[in-house]
């Protein structure tokens, strides 16, 4: 399991990446990240929702209330163009970080 | 099953947001916990275990409160400036500059009743140009990902500004200092509202509505709820 301090920095990239495939509500964002990371990245409410609101304030996402197929109201988040633009440099930044870690700490990734 | 709405409200404490925003946050978090609980139950966990695990996933409520407060305040000014104030001021400036140019070029207004000095005055060419100006304001706000109401405020700001000025000056002139408008009449207020608020407002709204027609649809993927 990855420690909270390490996970914190990954959340922005993880959220933007799962929203790249289409709009999702908060619970589903958390679930997709957990699934796609093989359970390694799991965010609590305290980590996920403040981040979603922060990203919404920055104009990266937009949350809109919708009625789901089960009749329940859910706030769906959609990736906005500004968020989309953030993905490329963010991915490059993480790739740089992994390369640097590989050189310094002999860290390898699967 | 636990009442998750109540559970969230009890634990959220005091967020530095208005009651409507508090409601939204509480509903969203409660929906998340409810869904977590239902999935755990579907996976075969007994009620007690599912309840315990759901509450554990909520994490630290004190931290959540602090983080929510900080997140809700971040960039408030910045976003509003880009989505409302800059487009609104540009719309206002364009609107009045065009009117000034038309008057300078000799455009004559249509006057509802020439015998009445404070009758409704309509600058027809200006009114015809207003949908374009409204569309520009709406577009500038939408380009910055402005929400629906922000796009409308930006596009119709000239009419809103006049409405605000009238709302302040007329009661003041009527009740506080009648010397400002000694021959004040209700029909002169109505004429001004019609000339400078309602008709321009409708024209500007038409432009914003046109821009909004091209709002991208929000598709919801199957299985997202």
Residue B156 or residue B19, greater confidence:
B156
Bridge partners of A78? Answer: A62
Q: How many CB pairs under 8 A join A and B?
A: 111
The nearest alpha carbon in chain A to B21 belongs to A53
Helix axes B4-12, B61-73, angle to 10 degrees: 80
ipTM: 0.84
Domain residue extents for chain B: 4-73, 76-212
Q: Which of A22, A50, A80 sits opposite B67 (nearest CB)?
A: A50
Residue B164 or residue B216, greater confidence:
B164
Three state DSSP letters for chain B: CCCHHHHHHHHHCCCCCCHHHHHHHHHHHHHHHHHHHHHHHHCCCCHHHHHHHHHHHHCCHHHHHHHHHHHHHCCHHHHHHHHHHHHHHHHHHHHHHHHHHHHHCCCCCEECCCCCCCCCEECHHHHHHHHHHHHHHHHHHHHCCCCHHHHHHHHCHHHHHHHHHHHHHHHHHHHHCCCCCCCCCHHHHHHHHHHHHHHHHHHHHHHHHHHHCCCCCCCCCCCCC
A104 Cβ neighbours under 8 A, 6+ residues apart: none
| Containing structural domain, residue A86 | 4-105
Within an 8 Å CB–CB cutoff, is residue A54 touching chain B? yes
Q: Is the pLDDT of residue B55 over 70?
A: yes
Helix axes B199-212, B124-143, angle to 10 degrees: 40
CATH no. for residue A85? 1.10.10.10
Distance CA B129, CA B135 (A): 10
Distance CA B163, CA B158 (A): 9
The nearest alpha carbon in chain B to A57 belongs to B75
Structural contact between residues B166 and B152, judged by C-beta atoms closer than 8 angstroms? no
The fraction of chain A above a pLDDT of 70, given in percent, is: 89
Q: Quickly state the pLDDT bin for B81 (edges 50, 70, 90).
A: confident
In a domain, A43, yes or no: yes
Listed residue (A9, A16, A7, A10) closest to A86, CA to CA: A16
Q: Quickly state the pLDDT bin for A45 (edges 50, 70, 90).
A: confident
DSSP letter assigned to residue A51: H
Within an 8 Å CB–CB cutoff, is residue A8 touching chain B? no
In a domain, A53, yes or no: yes
Sign (positive or negative) of CA dihedral B18, B20, B22, B24: negative
Which residue out of B22, B32, B70, B221 would a mutagenesis test of the A interface target, given it has the greatest number of A Cβ atoms within 10 Å? B32
Contact A45 B33 (CB under 8 A): yes
Q: The pTM is what? A: 0.57
Structural contact between residues B201 and B159, judged by C-beta atoms closer than 8 angstroms? yes
pLDDT in tens, B155-176: 999 999 999 988 888 777 777 7
Q: What is the pLDDT of residue B100?
A: 93
Q: How many domains does chain A have?
A: 1
3-state secondary structure of A26: helix
């Amino acid at each position: 399991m990855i420690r909270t301090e390490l996970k914190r920095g990954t959340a922005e990239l993880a959220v933007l990446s799962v929203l790249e495939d289409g709009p999702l509500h908060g619970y589903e964002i958390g679930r997709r990240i957990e699934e796609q990371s093989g359970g390694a990245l799991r965010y609590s409410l305290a980590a996920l929702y403040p981040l979603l609101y922060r990203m919404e304030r920055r104009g990266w996402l937009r949350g809109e209330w919708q009625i789901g197929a089960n009749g329940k109201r859910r706030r769906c988040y959609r990736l906005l163009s500004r968020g989309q633009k953030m993905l490329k440099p963010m991915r490059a930044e993480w790739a740089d970080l992994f390369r640097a870690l590989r050189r310094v700490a002999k860290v390898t990734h699967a | 099953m636990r009442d998750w709405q109540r559970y969230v409200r009890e634990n959220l404490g005091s967020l530095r947001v208005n009651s409507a925003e508090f409601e939204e946050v509480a509903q969203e978090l409660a929906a998340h916990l409810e869904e977590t609980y239902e999935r755990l139950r579907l996976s075969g966990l007994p009620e007690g275990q599912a309840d315990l695990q759901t509450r554990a996933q909520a994490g630290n409520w004190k931290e959540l409160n602090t983080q929510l407060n900080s997140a809700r305040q971040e960039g408030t000014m910045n976003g509003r400036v880009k989505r409302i104030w800059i487009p609104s001021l540009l719309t206002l400036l364009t609107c009045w500059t065009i009117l000034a140019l038309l008057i300078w070029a000799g455009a004559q207004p249509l006057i509802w009743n020439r015998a009445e000095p404070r009758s409704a005055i309509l600058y027809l060419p200006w009114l015809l140009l207003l949908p374009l100006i409204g569309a520009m304001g709406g577009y500038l706000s939408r380009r910055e990902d402005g929400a629906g109401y922000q796009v409308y405020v930006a596009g119709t700001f000239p009419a809103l500004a006049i409405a605000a000025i009238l709302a302040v000056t007329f009661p003041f002139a009527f009740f506080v200092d009648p010397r400002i408008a000694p021959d004040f009449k209700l029909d002169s207020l109505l004429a001004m509202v019609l000339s400078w608020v309602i008709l321009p407002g409708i024209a500007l709204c038409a432009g914003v509505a046109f821009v909004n027609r091209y709002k991208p649809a929000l598709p919801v993927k199957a299985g997202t709820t």
